[in-house]
Amino acid sequence: MTATIPEQSGPAQAAERTQQSLSVAAARNLATTTKSVPQMQGITSRWLLRMLPWVQVSAGTYRVNRRLTYATGSGRVGFVRNGVGMRVFAPSLVELPMLRTLDDPELLEELASRFTSREIAAGEVLAEEGQPISEVYLVGHGKVNKVGTGKYGESTVVGFAADGEHIGEEAMARDDALWSYTVKAATAGTLLVLPWPAFQELFERSAGLRDSVMRYLTDTQRPANRHGEREIELASGHEGEFALPGTYVDYELEPREYQLSVAQTVLKVHSRVADLYNNPMNQTEQQLRLTVEALRERQEWELINNNEFGLLANADNGHRIQTHGGPPTPDDMDELLRMRRGTRFLLAHPRAIAAFGRECNSRGLYFGTAEVNGHHVPAWRGVPIFPCGKLPIGDGQTTSILAMRTGEDDQGVVGLHQTGIPDELEPGLNVRFMGIDAKAVISYLVSTYYSVAVLVPDALGVLENVEVSRPRA
């Protein structure tokens, strides 16, 4: 039987519990704390700013001179939603090739009123190949396929049309136009439909509409290459004393000019803080460092999303393509790359990259990696894919993927800035002292100047309506 030692109590136990050294809490009052600099979650990799070649714009304006191109009105029509559905935004009808030169607002409004809204279901056939074109379709929402016939009689998808694009407008130029493909709805959606008789009645009584159509027909008869540029007359394969053609290269008379945009803020620091609380870190420097990071983040967002000069808004309609089935597939990425020579990199939302990875995995494929400035990034066909969370994801869980060729020497996409500005802190970014107010608050104006230019249309391509949601199991 083991004896149990009784628990001690009384004065001896109380003496053992008495503190015998300085406590940690009290000791911290005499110690120096090691601190980090202020941290910020909003800092991203900003690959676009790092990979764009930057051009010095000394005068604040950059003019892009190009060969003369015959405009065709290849943009997208806009729509307005009302209580009963969707209607055409009348001024945007000039994006139809036949209406490119029509500048009569009342006539455009009357033409827009003749479009009727029609809901379509996935798989619905809207027009048959070889049949007369009796309607013009504007895709308000959804996607339709252009289904053609292959060499051996098989059905092939020869193109797509999605939000804002138009089909069948060639019927405006001739009475006997036939469908060269079958129009079939790939998804449910909404079409704005203009019956051919409704257009013909307006055409017969409107001189302005007839003039616009005739101008288009005249432009299409001018000699031009496949990019719409005025042809340069050449001769080849001739023998003897052949009379060589004379030619010249014509330029656009009104080239586009890009003005440098600006992102600014006024940084305020109280003089007491700036004078007294600077050890071990300078308060003004830390405030300025985080402000500059926020400005650079806004700069990259503007380069992508700005309605005036942003990449998404300025991509040529002829270099926008749709996904075959929603998520980005290897076929879609190959199609995006084939549209231009020398694609330098792809820019995609991280969720789009993940969706592309799922599609590759489902096919037993994998995309490789590329080393860029010491970083390993995903790559497809050797072209780096850089993540960019500033590419928007819409309500339908869709986004876009950008592909671009860069550099002035390669007729690509270039960033625009001006260096050497007064009180410059970083290239194109300056900090200017604005004074001290009556409340002893010091103010600094922090500004960054920038823009982006697409030198030729094929330098930038967009894969649109990329679904990033995970498929339901």
174 pLDDT band, cuts 50/70/90, is low
* Per-residue pLDDT tens over the stretch 406-436: 999 999 999 999 999 999 999 999 999 999 9
Q: What is the pLDDT of residue 261?
A: 95
For range 292-308, the mean pLDDT = 95
Q: What is the pLDDT of residue 405?
A: 96
> How many separate helices (H) and strands (E) can be counted in the chain?
11, 25
**Whether residue 343 has pLDDT greater than 90:** yes
**Whether residue 79 has pLDDT greater than 90:** no
The alpha helices in 309-421, defined as continuous H runs, are 311-314, 330-338, 350-362
Q: Nearest 5°: phi and psi at 362?
A: -65, -20
**Whether residue 14 has pLDDT greater than 80:** no
For range 43-57, the mean pLDDT = 95
- Two structure tokens written together for 170: 């060639």
**Burial degree of 410 (CB within 10 A; 0-12, 13-18, 19+):** middle
d(CA 146, CA 179): 10
**Whether residue 450 has pLDDT greater than 90:** yes
Helix or strand (DSSP H, E) at 77 = none
**Whether residue 80 has pLDDT greater than 90:** no
User: Which residues partner with 32 through β-bridges?
Assistant: none
Closest CA to 310 of 297, 299, 319, 321: 299
Q: What is the pLDDT of residue 3?
A: 54
**Whether residue 217 has pLDDT greater than 60:** yes
**Burial degree of 432 (CB within 10 A; 0-12, 13-18, 19+):** middle
* Per-residue pLDDT tens over the stretch 374-409: 889 999 999 999 999 999 998 878 999 999 999 999
7 pLDDT band, cuts 50/70/90, is low
Q: What is the pLDDT of residue 326?
A: 86
d(CA 193, CA 115): 5
Question: Edge-to-edge strand order for the sheet containing 135-141?
Answer: 116-120, 189-195, 135-141, 166-167
Helix or strand (DSSP H, E) at 402 = strand 398-404
For the chain, the average pLDDT equals: 86
- The 3-class secondary structure across 446-471, one letter per residue, is EEEEEEEEECCHHHEEEEEEEECCCC
Closest CA to 121 of 186, 171, 65: 186
291 pLDDT band, cuts 50/70/90, is very high
228 pLDDT band, cuts 50/70/90, is low
- DSSP 3-state helix, strand, coil percentages of the chain (rounded to 5)? 25, 30, 40
Work out the angle between the directed axes of helices 207-220 and 196-205 (0-180°, nearest 10).
100
